[in-house]
Amino acid sequence: MTDASTSHLVLIPSYNTGPKLFETVRAARGHWAPVWVVIDGSTDGTPAELRVMAADDPHLRVLELPVNRGKGAAVLHGLEEAERCGFTHALTMDADGQHPADRIPQFQGVSLANPAALVLGKPVFDAAAPRLRVGGRKISNWWANLETLWGGIGDSLFGFRVYPIKPLRTVMRRNPWMRRFDFDPEAAVRLCWAGLPTINVPAPVRYFRAEEGGISHFNYVRDNALLTWMHTRLMLGFIGRLPMLTVRRVRSRPLRSFLR
């Protein structure tokens, strides 16, 4: 892609992703411009090579945080700079190659046609997907749907999605959470609470083995504890919002277009 969008960018947070980062960035740039990468305190040597790539590509920008602050914090850093530069929407994707770069134009196109909507990727897993991870996300998805009265979140954990920047920044600035692994599900729930319509678009997801360069920072104990605390506080917020959510649910059905 040679023509750069002035409203929609691709935002890739990265922490010690290794060589997969460069593959992801090249793939993303092959399908969209501009692409921004937020280096979240990486110590694996990737920032230097990425800066070299950016020096030769006017549509690739690198933002760097000095220490690791978490995915949500890295995304927020990118959103603040993007909004300052006049962008209105950001497609977020993981740096480890799991998300399908070739679907970027489709997702951005859906967002351009529905600028008020939260465009959520709905993962399509292959046989290599870890059963424990796939099964565990069903629990988080059930809670997210309860917390929104089934407001249209097809998958709460899949980070391949397009956010309207302003409402997401507003939500994140109002609370101190959503800065680490709890970012994706809490962002989806709180934006549904804020009244954003949702559009779910299927997208394949690929898990790479370690010998293929796959890197995962997911910790089953730490991150599941983080998700448990997140759903606890969301349920407390849900109780106070239940009358409003009930009225909204009765008055209108959520936008649930599953595009193929």
Say how many domains are in the chain.
1
What CA–CA distances, in Å, run from 112 to 53, 74, 115, 178, 215?
Answer: 28, 24, 5, 26, 32
What pLDDT is recorded for position 131? 75
Where residue 161 sits, what CATH number does that domain have? 3.90.550.10
Is residue 52 situated within a structural domain?
yes
Confidence of residue 86 (pLDDT cuts 50, 70, 90): very high
- Sequence-ordered list of residues with C-beta below 8 angstroms from that of 176, at least 6 positions apart, any chain: none
What pLDDT is recorded for position 252? 73
Query: What average pLDDT does the structure give for the chain?
Result: 90
How is residue 47 written in tokens? Answer: 């920032």
What pLDDT is recorded for position 222? 74
pLDDT in tens, 161-179: 999 999 999 999 999 999 9
Is residue 256 situated within a structural domain?
no
pLDDT in tens, 168-226: 999 999 999 999 889 999 999 999 999 999 999 999 998 766 656 556 656 667 777 88
Q: Name the one residue in this structure whose structure tokens are 């104990």.
A: 221
Is residue 223 situated within a structural domain?
yes
What pLDDT is recorded for position 129? 73
Is residue 255 situated within a structural domain?
no
What pLDDT is recorded for position 256? 47
Is residue 260 situated within a structural domain?
no
Tell me the whole-structure pTM to 2 decimals: 0.90
Confidence of residue 2 (pLDDT cuts 50, 70, 90): low
**CA torsion through residues 238, 147, 258, 13, sign:** positive
CB-hemisphere CA count at 13 Å for 242?
6
Average pLDDT of the residues in 8-13 = 98
Is residue 258 situated within a structural domain?
no
Residue 255 above 50 pLDDT?
no
Residue ranges making up the domain that contains 183: 8-248
> In this predicted model, which residue has the larger pLDDT, 223 or 8?
8
Is residue 122 situated within a structural domain?
yes
What CA–CA distances, in Å, run from 120 to 52, 229, 240, 256, 257?
Answer: 32, 23, 25, 10, 10
Residue 227 above 70 pLDDT?
yes
Is residue 254 situated within a structural domain?
no
How far is Cα 236 from Cα 3, in angstroms, rounded to an integer? 46
Residue 26 above 50 pLDDT?
yes
How far is Cα 51 from Cα 55, in angstroms, rounded to an integer? 6
